[in-house]
């Protein structure tokens, strides 16, 4: 597997109040006519993330229209799980509606933040989204007691299958709390009520690895394929395969993409989203400083 980089596609439109920096966690939604609506997260002047989108021609690796003036999913009410930020994750079409799952952020005291998985639904082809609840659809429980984030959802034989990031522990290092999170699994019958029992899909490779982030999953025939970010010193993109979506074999050496010698993605590379379009497979991803330099694109050769 080898990905050919097509370059930087989009950076934050800093003239918009909600998008002063970053274009993180891109997700490509197919649109009529062959274009894709790329959902992403940007931050305002206070560092609070909100979700917007930009229309992109994947074949030219270029935007064709600016993002809207207002975010499509904004902050939750004071005290809610998403009152300090919302970040993009995944969209599923079901029953004529679009289900957009996102990560909600709130601030902590003993730890810097808490994360939960929220859901907003659109019944007008993505023109507007309505949060289904001020609470997360999947939040902290006995099996996932610390934080949950970045869900991927596939619907198979009437079962909604989710792969998501879960924190296994916080530790104090150099006087500061440090998160350790990996990828787990959950199921649902309706996409709203989820059952998670602590099943770990992608675990830490060694003692130095502490963050396995933002997965993307596709199914080719009988094989599930997952790309994700993983971090020890700095983020890189990893890869794994599975025959059932639960037991995975890490094959990070086969990911086929790494940092560039210089430029916007020379220090780190993370948060991949993989999408097929007109017989080709594309990857959207972030680079340096967790998406502060924007998102770029690669094509599988």
pLDDT for the residue numbered 2: 98
HEC-encoded secondary structure of 146-181: CCEEEEEEEEECCEEEEEEEEEEEEEEECCEEEEEE
At 202 the pLDDT is 98
| pLDDT of 284 | 98
**CATH code at 189?**
2.115.10.20
pLDDT of residue 133: 97
Distance of CA 28 to the CA centre of its chain: 11
Structural domain span for residue 267? 3-300
Q: Which tokens hold the place of 6?
A: 């097509």
Average pLDDT across each block of 10 residues of the chain; the chain has 301 residues. List them in order: 98 95 98 96 98 97 95 98 98 97 98 98 97 98 98 98 98 97 98 98 97 98 98 97 98 98 98 98 98 98 96
| Cα(58)–Cα(241) distance, integer angstroms | 25
CA 155/CA 143 separation, integer angstroms: 23
State the pLDDT at residue 283: 98
Residue 101 has a pLDDT of 98
Number of domains in the chain: 1
Contact indicator for 9, 297 with CB cutoff of 8 Å: yes
pLDDT of residue 291: 97
How far is 117 from 102, CA to CA, in rounded Å?
Answer: 6
């Amino acid at each position: 597997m080898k990905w050919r980089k097509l370059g930087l596609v989009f950076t934050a439109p800093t003239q918009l109040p909600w998008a002063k920096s970053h274009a993180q966690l891109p997700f490509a939604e197919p649109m009529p006519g062959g274009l894709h609506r790329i959902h992403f997260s940007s931050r305002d002047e206070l560092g609070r993330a909100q979700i917007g989108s930009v229309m992109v021609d994947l074949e030219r690796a270029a935007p064709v229209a600016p993002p809207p003036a207002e975010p499509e999913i904004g902050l939750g009410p004071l005290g809610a799980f998403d009152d300090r930020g919302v970040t993009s994750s995944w969209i599923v079409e079901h029953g004529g509606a679009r289900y957009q799952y996102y990560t909600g952020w709130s601030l902590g005291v003993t730890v810097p933040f808490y994360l939960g998985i929220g859901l907003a639904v659109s019944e007008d082809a993505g023109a507007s989204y309505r949060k289904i609840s001020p609470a997360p659809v999947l939040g902290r429980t006995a099996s996932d007691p610390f934080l949950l984030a970045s869900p991927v959802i596939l619907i198979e034989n009437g079962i909604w299958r989710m792969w998501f990031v879960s924190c296994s522990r916080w530790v104090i290092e150099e006087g500061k709390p440090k998160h350790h999170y990996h990828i787990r699994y959950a199921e649902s019958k309706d996409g709203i009520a989820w059952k998670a029992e602590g099943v770990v899909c992608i675990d830490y490779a060694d003692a130095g690895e502490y963050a396995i982030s933002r997965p993307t999953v596709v199914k080719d025939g009988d094989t599930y394929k997952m790309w994700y970010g993983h971090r020890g010193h700095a983020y890189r993109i990893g890869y794994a395969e599975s025959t059932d979506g639960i037991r995975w074999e890490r094959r990070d050496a086969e990911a086929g993409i790494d940092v560039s010698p210089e430029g916007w993605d020379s220090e780190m590379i993370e948060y991949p989203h993989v999408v097929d379009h007109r017989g080709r497979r594309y990857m959207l991803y972030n680079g340096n400083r967790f998406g502060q330099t924007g998102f770029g694109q690669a094509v599988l050769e």
